[in-house]
Amino acid sequence: MSAAQTTRTADKPTEAPPEHRREWAHMALITIGPVVVALVIGGLVLIAMGVNPLTYYSYVAGRGLFSPSGLQATLTRMGPLLLIAASLIVAFRAGIWNLGGDGQFLLGAVLVAAAGPALVEIFPVWVVLIVGLLIGAVVGMLWSVVPALLRAYQGVNEIITTLMMTFLGVSLANVLVKLAFLDPTTTVPQTRTLPVEDRLPRLFDTTVSSGLLIGLAVIIVVHLVMTRTAFGLKLRVVGANSKAAIHAGLPVPLLTVLVFGISAALAGLAGAVDILGTQGNVRADWNPAYSLTVVPLVFLARFNGFGTIAFVFLFSVLSIGGESAARKLGVPNYFSLVIVAILLVVLGLTEYLDQRRQQKVRS
């Protein structure tokens, strides 16, 4: 072969093998496909309600994506959602179903909302913000101690215990707001309000909270730790086969408690970010139920942090835009949650059919 031919061969871009192209196409199909199907089914539900689905989705996109104020609200909404997603990724990759995120989130939010206005009278704002974030993380972590110990040392199913702790956490949060932390100057039961100037700073002269940067940084770090470090490998081994992990000499009970602690701390941190960045206080009976809402998004992304960012953005657009569409078209505010529920069902069916296909291929 001549030097010129060798140069041309070297300069020619390397094409992906057909197997890799098929694998990428397959992943795109089982990831994006359920989203498209869920939107179509949601459109059929809208038609049954007498609403034009194209009009609804155009309002959603127009408000949540193409409107400057709507886009800023969408990006702000992403902050706590990304932290909840990071919490779930840690737990799910380790084979643990921490479904107590809503209780951990809400209790962290309430304690931060109660402490913030008091601390800002004593300390500089930057100290208050750091302490507030730590309070949220610690409160969330402490609320996971009971399910963690029961799973680690007694083998009690954490799905049951974390859901029970969520119920208790939501109830306790409401009691704290209405009694211990009640702002007596308001007619509606709520905590004292943290002044806007004492909250997390805004980004680039917009209304976007810097909580977005916290969420992005945390979920990227979680992804890298779980996929590129020895600690993440140990957690994945525990999640894949706990008996094999024990035979390999891994301290499974200790790792289980650590997973619960990290996951719950991130959920509590999400509550702190929501209060310090956006809400400023907690009203009685307030519960956005972010944790269970984010579960299908994490599964759609296959526990991949970068993929989760994209799906959280999509949900934030749907959530913010859905609020505007609800006001203009008379659709219930919770219809975006209906689409998420449909998405979860479609995702389950997709996983089932994909496993059946793989079994046929292997056989």
Q: Say how far apart CA 104 and CA 84 lie, in whole Å.
A: 10
Residue at 334 is within a domain:
no
pLDDT at position 247 is: 85
Residue at 51 is within a domain:
no
- 126-160 pLDDT tens trace: 999 999 999 999 999 999 999 999 999 999 999 99
- Region 299-307: mean pLDDT is 90
Number of domains in the chain: 1
Residue at 344 is within a domain:
no
Residue at 352 is within a domain:
no
Residues paired with residue 202 on neighbouring β-strands, in sequence order:
209
Residue at 192 is within a domain:
yes
- Region 296-310: mean pLDDT is 91
pLDDT at position 216 is: 98
DSSP letter for 176, please.
I
From 273, 282, 264, 276, select the one nearest 140 (Cα to Cα).
264
- 44-78 pLDDT tens trace: 999 999 999 999 999 888 888 888 888 999 999 99
pTM of the model: 0.88
R_g (Cα) of the chain, nearest Å: 23
Question: Which domain, by its residues, includes 147?
Answer: 73-299
Q: Say how far apart CA 188 and CA 77 lie, in whole Å.
A: 24
Q: Are 131 and 123 in contact (CB under 8 A)?
A: yes
Residue at 158 is within a domain:
yes
Residue at 40 is within a domain:
no
Residues above pLDDT 70, as percent of the chain: 94
- 210-251 pLDDT tens trace: 999 999 999 999 999 999 999 999 999 988 888 888 888 899
Burial of 62 (0-12, 13-18, 19+ CB in 10 A): middle
DSSP 299-355: HHTTT-HHHHHHHHHHHHHHHHHHHHHHHHH---TTHHHHHHHHHHHHHHHHHHHHH
Residue at 245 is within a domain:
yes
